[in-house]
Amino acid sequence: MRIAMIGTGYVGLVSGVCFSDFGHDVICVDKNPAKIEMLERGEVPIYEPGLDTLMEKNVEAGRLTFTTDLAAAVDGADAVFIAVGTPTRRGDGHADLTFVMAAAEEIAKSLTGYAVIVVKSTVPVGTNRKVKQTVAKANPNADFDVASNPEFLREGAAIDDFMKPDRVIVGVQTERAGEVMAEIYRPLYLREFPIVTTDLESAEMIKYAANAFLATKITFINEIARLCEKVGADVKEVSRGMGLDGRIGNKFLHAGPGYGGSCFPKDTMALARTGQDFSAPMDIVETVIKSNDEIKRRMIDKILELCGDTFNGKTVAVLGVTFKPNTDDMRDAPALTVVPALVGGGAKVRVVDPQGRREGEALLPGVQWVEDPYKAVQNADALVILTEWNEFRALDLKRLARRMATPRMADLRNVYSAKDAKHAGFEAYMAVGRPSLEPQARAAEEEANTASAAE
């Protein structure tokens, strides 16, 4: 099959590269000449493990090319995928479809034969029908169908998700479009991965419903974590006990500083707005959005308490600022709420992140970027773990504590424990929904130990 992929952002580039690895001829299109030149040099503009190697392989095989010429890419294509951004529209929270509709109109003018126009961007219910109307209006003689094919790629594991998906969702209106999509995904059919073929509206809704449910699950365990702190329970044990129930499962039950990234924040907002438009309020989703914002702000309070109720004049080392590990994506990351509060409060902030600096330098002004966690904590007053990169999961806590002016840790991803911190010499440790080590308790314990030794 010949495929044109419009947009070389996260979804478009990963999808285009993986389709080419299926054996299809793929042309990736982007209006940004600098980006296309970068790709043609073999450089990947995003961080996704394994993507550079897979891209190089398929470029060398002649199955994958890049261009700024949309008309040339669409000419003769069996399927044209729209994979452009749908950011939250300013002012009302709806998904901004400007790029989608602009792409649809340009595609329409470039069609030379039958093609399936596939919307891979995350779009509200009814968008595919609007795309169809836009194409028909721009080119009344166009021979085409539309299809909805939402993506379910986890940043940091996108290639594996594409090649070994839990399911592929395809929304179509005609048998002909269904046959084209079946041929495109033939390698997955042969390996018996689930392919769900449905109508346009259901396909669009599946994407939003799935993301909203996962965001709800994250928010639920974060609220449980808050209660655990009040009653003395351990949210890790609670999560484990819940997750062993097959009806619940253990994924997305990890307490932390709230969800972020390119999908959950904008998709929950868009679903809530759609519910309002159709007089079917998404009360749970609206509460999730509100609660997630509050969770991020509560993390600031935790760090403030750790720092003695003031950031002014304090040095704080922050480990991780991307919204999750194995990505360079900073969109709606908790760090964008937490770090500015530290800087604004007068703290000197040192940041360590394996991939976050490229985006983070512009988004987090006023911080010092450091390559090594042990250098970052030198004479620091507090250590904050915001993203659970593997590099931060096996740190020498004793070494960290020795280097700090006041060894105090806010472990907002529950990587360690109060017992670990205490053994390493930390005088204070705060987690999310787990037992903490309070400075006063540590001091009292040391005083008791001294008295006991004297006796």
- How far apart, in whole angstroms, are the C-alpha atoms of residue 87 and residue 7? 14
Is 263 assigned a catalytic role?
yes
Tell me the pairing of strands 144-148 and 168-172: antiparallel
Torsion, Cα of 81, 84, 87, 91 (10° steps): -90
Three-state DSSP state, 49: coil
Instruction: Report the first-to-last Cα separation within the chain, whole angstroms.
Output: 84
- How far apart, in whole angstroms, are the C-alpha atoms of residue 441 and residue 1? 67
155 appears as a binding residue in the annotation: yes
Chain-centre distance of CA 14, in angstroms?
Answer: 14
260 appears as a binding residue in the annotation: yes
Nearest alpha-carbon partner for 190 in 163, 170, 171: 163
122 appears as a binding residue in the annotation: yes
Q: Which of 18, 28, 228, 263 is catalytic?
A: 263
Q: What is the residue-wise DSSP string for 22-43?
A: TT-EEEEE-S-HHHHHHHHTT-
302 appears as a binding residue in the annotation: no
Residue pair 58/17 in contact (Cβ under 8 Å)? The answer is yes
Residue pair 228/202 in contact (Cβ under 8 Å)? The answer is no
154 appears as a binding residue in the annotation: yes
- How far apart, in whole angstroms, are the C-alpha atoms of residue 431 and residue 229? 9
Nearest alpha-carbon partner for 323 in 392, 413, 448, 409: 413
30 appears as a binding residue in the annotation: yes
290 appears as a binding residue in the annotation: no
Nearest alpha-carbon partner for 131 in 110, 100, 93, 106: 100
Burial class (CB in 10 A: 0-12, 13-18, 19+), 121: buried
Tell me the pairing of strands 315-319 and 2-6: unpaired
230 appears as a binding residue in the annotation: no
Kindly tell me the sign of the dihedral angle through the C-alpha atoms of 413, 415, 419, 425.
Answer: negative
252 appears as a binding residue in the annotation: yes
- How far apart, in whole angstroms, are the C-alpha atoms of residue 107 and residue 243? 46
- How far apart, in whole angstroms, are the C-alpha atoms of residue 196 and residue 213? 19
- Which positions ≥6 away from 417 have C-beta within 8 Å? 429, 431, 434, 435
- How far apart, in whole angstroms, are the C-alpha atoms of residue 84 and residue 100? 6
324 appears as a binding residue in the annotation: yes
- Give me the active site residues, please: 263
Task: Give the annotated binding-site residues for substrate.
Answer: 152-155, 207, 252-256, 260, 324
Task: Give the annotated binding-site residues for NAD(+).
Answer: 30, 35, 86, 122, 155, 266, 331
Task: Give the annotated binding-site residues.
Answer: 30, 35, 86, 122, 152-155, 207, 252-256, 260, 266, 324, 331
